[in-house]
Amino acid sequence: MKVYTKIEEEGPRKGERYRSMGLYQAMLDVRANQRYYIECPDGTLVIPPGITFPRVEKEGEQIEPDDVDGVWRWTYNRYMKEKTEGNVEFIKSNQSSLIHPDGSKASWNVYYKIWLKDRIEDGQLPGNILTKFESRHASAELKDLDIPFDFPKPSALVKFLMSITGISKDDIVLDFFAGSCPLSHAAIEYSIDNEQLTHFICVQLPEKTAEDSEEYKSGYKTISDIGKERTRRVIKKMGEVLSAEKKKCRNQLPGMEKEIPVLDLGFKVFKLDRSNFKIWDGSRPDAPEEELIRQLSLHIDHIDPHATQEDILFELLLKAGFTLTEKVQKLEMAGKTVYSAAENVLLICLEDKITRELIDAVVAAEPRQFLCLDKGFQGNDQLKANAVQTFNALNQGRDKTEQIVFRTV
């Protein structure tokens, strides 16, 4: 219901709710009789991006599309029928994907209306939905990705559910029983279809595959391994789709090329694990002196020797109150690698050697927090004391909300 946010203002359907969908979408299959000019309210002609154009600059003039040409959702006859019935609308936009006959960027988008009343009256029963999105379709799409897996959920069904629930830009979709990750598959395609980024979170236990299964024989030891590889392959495939879309614009005039949306098609994989830092055992406050000495000796080097910089980085981000999806940039300061979270709100250096030049560079950047490894000072207490004094001097006279927090871990 919430996606049908528009209300018809005139005509026989005045007062009815509807939603708009683009008559051109990049993922539409290339078909005959669906590449032609449409006339906009100001008299200009528009057409989806591509390399072939009708010879006559006239609405409805058709041409056989090339494989890289964009097409409309409908044939021209269907378009005229829907337009006559009031089911087409034109909206001005400086982000239009459409072009004029000379290849220049158009200032109109063409949409078709989906009426809430019609959808309610049509009313798809659950059986109809299950028939439309059968498991064999899901098996076919995994076969296309060359990934073996029995009884997957259809990503098309997940994408359909995302569509009818009105997933918008930067929304997050979540699947606690991810399996082969049809959710990530659907979210990536949904982002491309709608030219907007949709975030996804897939949760799956590392359930082992049977040793006599095709999955195991193909190198997938756990179901989560299948989901990760599927996501990688879908991203690669969608990247190729975007590249092909860019090629459609190769004949456009300089400076008039279609703006292909830049979408972040990457993903991160996290697993639940123990801390990368040794935890102090405070369960025995009356422990003998020998036990305290033993614990202190264990904490001289308190970082797991098997931990990678990335492991430590994300644990520190979480402990500092940031989410796992926070944007992190890798910077170089005074010859050292420094990670910046939330555009320098937090700076983290995990180098084994901290220098005076690095401290000065961090101070100049004025983050809200700076974290580094205690072992980075390599026992140089003077350098560490100077670093503390440098930040204390910088914070002199500042409000507490503006002070830079310096900590070692």
Kindly state whether residue 88 falls inside one of the protein's structural domains: yes
Residue-wise pLDDT for 93-146, tens only, equals: 887 889 999 989 999 999 999 988 887 766 544 445 556 676 677 788 888 899
My answer on whether 150 and 96 are in the same domain is: no
Range of the domain at 159: 126-247
**Total domains in the fold of the chain:** 3
Among 122, 140, 159, which residue terminates a domain?
Answer: 122
pTM metric for this prediction: 0.59
Query: How does pLDDT run across 51-86, given as a tens digit for each residue?
Result: 889 989 999 988 888 888 889 999 999 999 999 999
Give the domain-ending residue among 88, 122, 156. 122
Q: Residues 225, 227, 229, 235: what is their CA dihedral angle, to the nearest 10 degrees?
A: -160
DSSP-derived 3-state class of residue 99: strand
Residue finishing a domain among 122, 142, 174: 122
118 and 143 both lie in a single domain: no
Has residue 34 been placed in a domain? yes
Structure tokens at 156: 């098309």
59 and 150 in a single domain? The answer is no
The label of the residue with tokens 């057409």 reads: 47
114, 18 Cβ separation under 8 angstroms: yes
313 within some domain? yes
pLDDT digits (tens, 9 = 90+) for 140-177: 888 889 998 888 888 988 988 888 787 888 889 999 99
- Classify residue 275: in a domain, yes or no: no
Asked if residue 220 lies in contact with residue 226, where contact means CB atoms within 8 angstroms, the answer is: yes
Cβ 7 vs Cβ 17: under 8 Å: yes
* Claim to verify: residue 355 and residue 381 sit in the same structural domain: yes
> Both tokens of residue 59?
């609405």
Round to whole Å and give the CA distance between 99 and 109: 10
- pLDDT profile of the chain (409 residues), mean per 10: 78 89 84 92 94 91 86 94 94 88 92 86 54 72 87 87 82 93 93 84 93 92 95 90 69 53 80 80 69 66 82 90 88 94 92 93 92 89 92 86 86
* 261 within some domain: no
Q: Cβ contacts of residue 195 below 8 Å, gap of 6+? A: 26, 97, 261, 263
- CB 138, CB 179: distance < 8 Å: no
221 and 130, same domain (yes or no): yes
**Same domain (yes/no): 135, 52:** no
143 and 113 within one domain: no
Indicate if 110 and 137 belong to the same structural domain: no
Cα 124 to Cα 133: distance, rounded to the nearest angstrom: 13
On whether both 97 and 200 belong to a single domain, the answer is: no
In a domain, 232, yes or no: yes
The pLDDT value given to residue 126: 44
pLDDT of residue 252: 54
Per-residue buried b or exposed e for 252-273, using 16+ beta carbons within 10 Å of the residue's own CB: beeeebbebeebebebeeeeee
- Judgement on whether residues 108 and 148 belong to the same structural domain of the protein: no
